[in-house]
Amino acid sequence: AENGQVGIAELEQIRELITAAGYLGRIIIDPSVVRGLEYYTGPVYEVELTFPVTNDDGQVVRFGSVAGGGRYDGLVGRFRPEPVPATGFSIGVSRLFSALKAVKSPIVDSRNELPLVVVTAMDNKSPEFMPGYQAMVSALRQAKDADGKPLLRADLYLGASGFNAQMKYADRRGAVCAVIQGSSEREAGTVVIKDLILGAELAAASRDVKDSSEHKAKQAEAQFAVPLAELVEGVKRVLARHS
């Protein structure tokens, strides 16, 4: 009974996160889903592609399941003296790749790759703040250009590291900018947008250049705060600078 209550609480937390991300309906909590292996100790997942696709023979088909997995805290601990929390899943790569090609996804066409924005998680050790960060990611992913096409890719940092490590993560991913909201920004109802490309250029400038008024003006553009409701517009400013 106690394990059941813990499981229900975890599912409620998952529901909060997917609701904040705007994925309720696309992600369904289904108690009937069961994985075939016994080592799972928490939520399990099954990923299905339900959109119809016409194959080479003119038949309408569905790709179905392309991934599955879950939480298995006890598995790694069987081979080590201490418990090791773990989550993972396997992907049917060939089937997923075929599906991405069928819908002409930019993910499989680097020529059409969209700019990346990373939302950092300054309060990543406080689960109650994660839905807010996820909502920012959702808002950015819904941004469209003048033709109604997706404007950018957005990624949420999910590790437990601090600010510097998160900035390095964004740099490694090749992000154009990072979105930052700590406790002070949350209280003020704002977010900070950090232009990583312009910031790198300013950091490489010589001492003489750094003393100029132009350099100081660019510094204000390299990192600026906007109201949370204007997050997308603020990111658009950065994207327009580097388009």
- What tens digit of pLDDT does each residue of 127-139 get? 889 999 999 999 9
What global pTM score does this model have? 0.67
Distance CA 86, CA 18 (A): 20
Q: Would you place residue 82 in the very low, low, confident or very high pLDDT band (cuts 50, 70, 90)? A: confident
Q: State the average pLDDT for the chain.
A: 88
Q: What CATH number has the domain spanning 114-242?
A: 3.40.50.800
Distance CA 237, CA 227 (A): 14
**Does residue 110 register a pLDDT over 70?**
no
Q: Which of 28-37, 107-116, 182-191 has the lowest mean pLDDT?
A: 107-116
* Domain ranges (residues) in the chain: 2-107, 114-242
Superfamily of domain 2-107: Bira Bifunctional Protein; Domain 2 (3.30.930.10)
